[in-house]
Chains A and B, each alone.
Chain A
Amino acid sequence: MGKYILKRLGISVGILLVVMFIIYALLRSLPASYVETMAIQLSQAPGAKPYDVWVTQLNEQYGLNVGLVQGYFVQLKNLLTGNFGDSWKFAVPVTQKFSQVIGISFVMGAIALVLEILIAVPLGILAASKQYSRRDYAITAGALIGISLPTFFFATVLKLVFSVKLGWFDLFGLVGRDYPNLSPWGKFWDMAAHLVLPIITLVVVSVGSLMRHTRTNMLEVLQADYIRTARAKGLRNRRVILNHAFRNTLIPLVTIIGGSLPGLFAGALITETLFAIPGIGYTSYQAMVAGDIPFSMFYLTFLAALTLLGNLLSDILYAVVDPRVRLG
């Protein structure tokens, strides 16, 4: 087991290096060049140096005067020595900006994921245990509606109903107007109230696919011979489903959930933007548009590392739920 994990980690590092190169190459070829935008601005100042001179000077200053490969190794060396650099767009160290915005995205994503699992798995099992019943049709139709709803539309409808018509929540923002004057508990509740609509949006638009996965897996498991054996023993339907079928359903679900872990850190670009929540999704979007290489590089590398880790994690979890899988 230990040896297997070490081997997988080694492979992951190799993949990560390649991915980082691709990220760097892509960022370098972005049409939105931070340096050019800045050079235009600087050259327009009265009595300033011409644009070409500024570009050359800035390129040198930002380390863009070298080729792709050389630039990549410079970046790599910086990253490996723990020097992540300063964000060009936000003019603060990358890690500082990142840690400012990641928290809220993570909290939102984690709550949404937990709710999603708590809603999707039981409903999927309920639907599958009585296939083609009214209950099944209702749940499947609900899942389909959730999948089909575009985030921006659903978020807007929620805002219309709960903020505009009912006035229960603020229209957007992470904190209310009186936030600084509130007690610590008041601050907590204020923030929680502002997160309700974004989290509902996230859950509703993503719960459907997990539910359908659960239902399909469960249906497949319920067809299995060992389920018939369990029934032949005289077990009640409830126990057949909970004791015999459920654990077998978990096997594919673990992969899906493991694969969605990096998503916790990816933020939710559209939702965060719609609700004006300063999370990582919104911030990385701003950085990317501005051509902010250090921030984008750090963020994308971080996600790549998480994805690799998530895959490794789900493979290990496989072995935990399924005794037939032996790692090695």
Chain B
Amino acid sequence: MTRKEQMLLEKRRLAKKVPQSQYLTQMRDSRNALEIEELRTCFFTDAGVVQASDGVSFDVPMGKTVAVVGESGCGKSAMGLSVMQLLQRPQGQVVGGAIRLNLGDCAYDIAKTPENVMEKLRGKAVSMIFQEPMTALNPVMTIGKQLQEVLELHEKKRATKRHAIKLLDMVGIANGKGVYEMYPHNLSGGMRQRVMIAMALSCNPKLVIADEPTTALDVTVQAQILELLKSLKDKLGSAVLLITHDLGVVAEMADFVVVMYAGRVVEQGTVEEIFYQAAHPYTIGLMKSKPVVGRPVESLYTIGGKVPNPINMPDYCYFRDRCDTKTEDCDGQYPAQIQLSDTHIVSCYRAFPREDADGKHSGS
């Protein structure tokens, strides 16, 4: 991948007249709101090309919440931004794979959708809640104006003040009339995040991407915001792609969980499967490292070692050098995905069916 290819991708993205056949597509399963298939997202940096998402595949069923978990820098935010086509351009580019977004009557392949069509989808069909409510709102614009902007853009009518205040009511802001006139710096972090949620849900999107929506908030406010998100999601029937590293939030919110490590999906399944039958050593490590109320410990469990350098990833399991349970098989190429149940998929040699007699490695 060279700079030239990056410019080519950028040019294609900014092309004005692209026939619909280029980006309209069919969903594999019409009950899914979003299907991500073999998504590859790259950042072209001066030091080299970073594969932020490397063959990520998973589905988000309609009306369900899918949580993407993983440590910082594992590519979960880059994946979320890819779905919105909001990567830091021109360095960040989706270079391959498909992101199919279901709009009911038609489906868009976002990986191929040009910028001018994408503008119409953003905020309407798919919207995003960001991590930092402190900086995610424009400091020199009133809350009302920022809210009304989305409505005017997508609802094709003159959005009124009443409409905006109704949205503020919906997210549980009592003094809607007052807040309408306020600037972001007049509000607390939790209030701002409520405004962000109101903005994201104002056009009844099919899919909401919440990128660590509660990380910057204190614990009591976190619970309120999660509760709000959950109830509004059910009310509007939107699917939620929740990006987080907080397993407590996952347990609270998610129907399905996708575990990412170094740009790849290492394990995915229903929330029960991930929490009670985790199969990948990384997932097991994550579960072990979370504190449990009522179980006194000296220090919490940590996964030793660090993530390999994202430039020039090796072709073996990325977790090999940190793994407690590695075998000689692990020196082979990156493990393929194994289906453990209808929903449970893992990429680990330990999950491979063994033929030899003593092959059953008893892990954890």
Residues of A in contact with B (beta carbons under 8 Å apart) = 224-226, 228-236, 243-244, 247-248, 321-324
Contacts and interface: CB of A to CB of B under 8 A. Distances in A.
B135 A225 contact: yes
B178 to A, nearest CB: 15
Contacts of A236: 119
Contacts of B140: 247-248, 321-323
A244 B141 contact: yes
A259 B87 CA distance: 38
A243 to B, nearest CB: 8
Contact of A226 (B120, B121, B135): B135
B150 A234 contact: yes
B154 interface: yes
A323 B86 CA distance: 28
Contact of B185 (A225, A234, A323): A323
10 contacts: A231-B122, A232-B122, A232-B127, A232-B128, A233-B199, A234-B154, A235-B149, A248-B140, A322-B139, A324-B185
B138 interface: yes
Contacts of B130: 225, 228-229, 232
A239 B130 CA distance: 20
B122 A229 contact: no
Given A226-B136, A244-B138, A322-B139, A233 B183 contact: no
Nearest to B209: A232
B149 A233 contact: yes
A225 B124 contact: no
Which 9 pairs show the lowest CB-CB distances between chains A and B? A234-B123, A234-B122, A225-B135, A233-B123, A226-B138, A225-B136, A323-B183, A232-B128, A324-B185
Given A226-B138, A321-B140, A322-B140, A234 B121 contact: yes
B153 interface: yes
A251 to B, nearest CB: 8
Interface centre among B120, B136, B137, B153 (most CB of A within 10 A): B136
Interface in B104-132: 119-124, 127-128, 130, 132
Interface in B125-168: 127-128, 130, 132, 135-141, 149-150, 153-154
Contacts of B127: 232-233
Interface centre among A234, A244, A321 (most CB of B within 10 A): A234
Interface of B: 84, 86, 119-124, 127-128, 130, 132, 135-141, 149-150, 153-154, 183, 185, 196, 199-200
Nearest to A229: B136
A99 to B, nearest CB: 41
A247 B138 CA distance: 10
Nearest to A226: B138
Nearest to A323: B183
Given A233-B149, A247-B141, 18 more contacts: A225-B136, A230-B138, A231-B122, A232-B84, A232-B86, A232-B128, A232-B200, A233-B127, A234-B120, A234-B122, A234-B153, A236-B119, A244-B138, A244-B141, A247-B140, A248-B140, A321-B140, A323-B140
A228 B86 contact: yes
Contacts of A243: 149
B321 to A, nearest CB: 34
Contacts of A235: 119, 123, 149, 153
Given A234-B119, A234-B120, A234-B123, A229 B150 contact: no
A248 B139 contact: yes
B138 A229 contact: yes
Nearest to A236: B119
A324 B139 contact: yes
B216 to A, nearest CB: 11
A229 B209 CA distance: 12
Contacts of B183: 323-324
A248 B138 contact: yes
Contacts of B137: 226, 229
A247 B139 CA distance: 10
A244 B86 CA distance: 16
Contacts of A231: 86, 122
A218 to B, nearest CB: 14
B122 A226 contact: no
A236 B86 CA distance: 13
A211 B135 CA distance: 26
Contacts of A230: 138
A229 B184 CA distance: 13
